Amino acid sequence: ETFSFVLTNVDGSRKIGYCRRLLPSGRGVRLPEVFCIISCLGCFGLFSKILDEVEKRRQISMAVIYPFMQGLRESPFPAPGKTVTIKSFIPESGTELIELTRPVDAHLEHVEFQALLQRLSPDLILHIFASAVLERRLIFLAEELSVLSQCIHAVAALLYPFTWAHTYIPVVPECLLDTVCCPTPFMVGIQMRHLERVLEQPMEEALIVNLCEGKIIRAVGDEEEILPVKLQNEMLTSLNRHNNNNNIHTSEQVNTLVSEAFVHFFVRMVGHYSSHIKWNKSGSGSFQERSFCKAITSRSSRRFVKKFVKTNMFSLFIEEVERSRIPQEG
């Protein structure tokens, strides 16, 4: 099983743990082992390839893993878009050359939108997105760790170019189940076997999503009305199109197409932000929230944006912009 977890530091910075859990070869009862890479960089494709190599060597013996890891440590970590080649010796196979490439843009690196589309209808995905955009409490339930971590990373990635700024635990360990009692926003994944315990907790309003059955167990009730109807229908059309073409598209193509639909939503809603920043002589700016909201002609869009500008993710995005007049790439 491949899954991931997130470690959040006091300052809000995050490290991601990429894990491969496997059963060592042999007979009879044996404990599973977990190999884990912890990094502040989201390079899941690259780490997945490393874990494939570790798994291959583990089937021979633990001792064969160490020279490979030593070779990795001695190689420079590839810059975006670059490749490093590592020589590795395997008994009976000889020396192998392993190429590890880091993508130019890593924001979709550990994301599988297909995992979400296979388990939830486009309507439900939009309800979840609407709740996440307004920074509400979201709980996801599934049996498997890989399903939980894949789906939660996918939901967080729908918010790009914004970032979820609150409690974010793709797989909640049993000892932290009372996280669901938090009065602040959170996005967490919980294994299905803990469902009863979770429902017994004194919880504030939250959206609870069952990924096994593809349904929402508990909702606030206004999820359909959060996003402007016209844009919501455009996104539904887009998601339905990718759903129907699932067999044609590769996972990378699905990622790009789905991400574009949601980025397009943000561009339509708040893409005019840069013309509402007043710059002073020292080069720092101040965001003019009132004129920014007034510039939106559609009533339903303005109603949504007035709520969205109060979120942490929008504030952090604008703070970053105000610091420097030089526009960020992309």
- Say if pTM beats, i.e. exceeds, 0.75: yes
Per-residue pLDDT reduced to its tens digit, 127-170: 999 999 999 999 999 998 888 988 998 999 999 889 888 888 88
Please report the pLDDT score of residue 330 as a whole number: 47
Q: Which residue has the higher pLDDT, 54 or 322?
A: 54
Flag whether pLDDT at 28 surpasses 70.
yes
Mean pLDDT of the region 106-127: 84
Query: Across the chain, what does the average pLDDT equal?
Result: 85
Flag whether pLDDT at 83 surpasses 80.
yes
Catalogue all structural domains in the chain, each as residue range(s) with its CATH number.
2-102 (no CATH), 111-329 (3.40.50.11500)
Contacts of 263 (CB under 8 A, 6+ apart): 160, 161
- Phi first, then psi, for residue 174 (nearest 5°) are -55, -35
Three-state SS at 137: strand
- Local structure of residue 95 (DSSP, 8 states): E
The percent helix, strand, coil of the chain (3-state, each to 5) is 45, 20, 35
Per-residue pLDDT reduced to its tens digit, 286-297: 888 888 888 888
What is the dihedral sign for C-alpha 153, 158, 160, 166?
negative
Q: Which residue has the higher pLDDT, 106 or 247?
A: 106
Mean pLDDT of the region 115-127: 90
